[in-house]
Every structure is written in structure tokens, then in C-alpha cells.
A = this chain, B = another copy of it.
Amino acid sequence: MKIKLDTRSAIPLSHQMGEQIRREVAAGQLRPGDRLPSVRELALELLVNPNTVARVYRDLELEGLLETRRGQGTFIGPAAAALAEKERLRLLRQALVRLVEDAQLFGLGREELLEMVQQVARERAWPPREEA
């Protein structure tokens, strides 16, 4: 699990962490049953207070995404798989709408935008077809 925090952002650290964990679950990089780093481990790695990590885990558990087993650690919960699909669509849709809104706002034509998408795709070495 890879989490990057921007300590200078106005978005609270805990929200950044929660959002990134949700993304990894949505992407299938974290699957039901997977064990997350312990509160203390992750706190040490991110140079963050353990309480902050604990709060994130706790919130995600209330959401039904995580599950804690006393004395054993924190795990991706069984319901996560079902939530993942919804979340995936939500995130992609959100990114799409945001992009099209911006393009419209800035007076771009539809074709220019498509060309820009192609270009970024090429830069990022993204093949026309792919199954992750």
C-alpha cells in the first residue's frame, strides 16, 4: 500500500489517507482479506501521529470498508469488493465530468480535447487496449 501525503495541502491528512485507501480498494490493489499496515507502522512510515492513522482506520471501518480483528490487525472487509465497483465508477465519472467542464469552460473543441487525451496516453505509455 502506497500513500503519499501533502502536508502543505489544506485537505486534512486523515482525509488524504482515507481517500487514497479507498482508491486502492477501488482499483483492486487492496482486496478483501488483505491486511493493512498496523497503525503504528503506517504512522511511522508517514511521519504522522498514530492517533491520526487510527482515526482513519476507524472511519473506514464505519463505512464498511475495513474490518478490525482484535489483537490481530486491520483488514480489508468482505463488503469492499462490492463497494469497489461503485466507487470505481464514481471516481472515473467525476474525473471525466471535471475534465469536460474545464475543456468547455476554456473554449476547447471536442476534438482538441480528444487529441490531448491521446497525447497524455502516449506519454504515459498506455496501450490502446489493456486488461489490468
Contacts and interface: CB of A to CB of B under 8 A. Distances in A.
Interface residues of A, number: 52
Contacts of A11: 10-11
Chief secondary structure at chain A's binding surface = helix
A100 interface: yes
Contacts of A99: 92, 95-96, 98-99, 117
A110 B127 contact: yes
This protein's copies in its complex: 4
B126 A110 contact: yes
B95 A95 contact: yes
Interface in A104-132: 104-111, 113-114, 116-118, 120-121, 124, 126-132
Interface of A: 7, 10-13, 15, 23, 26-29, 49, 59, 62, 69-71, 88, 91-92, 95-111, 113-114, 116-118, 120-121, 124, 126-132
The 8 closest A-B pairs by CB, nearest first: A107-B132, A27-B105, A95-B99, A109-B129, A110-B128, A10-B15, A110-B121, A100-B120
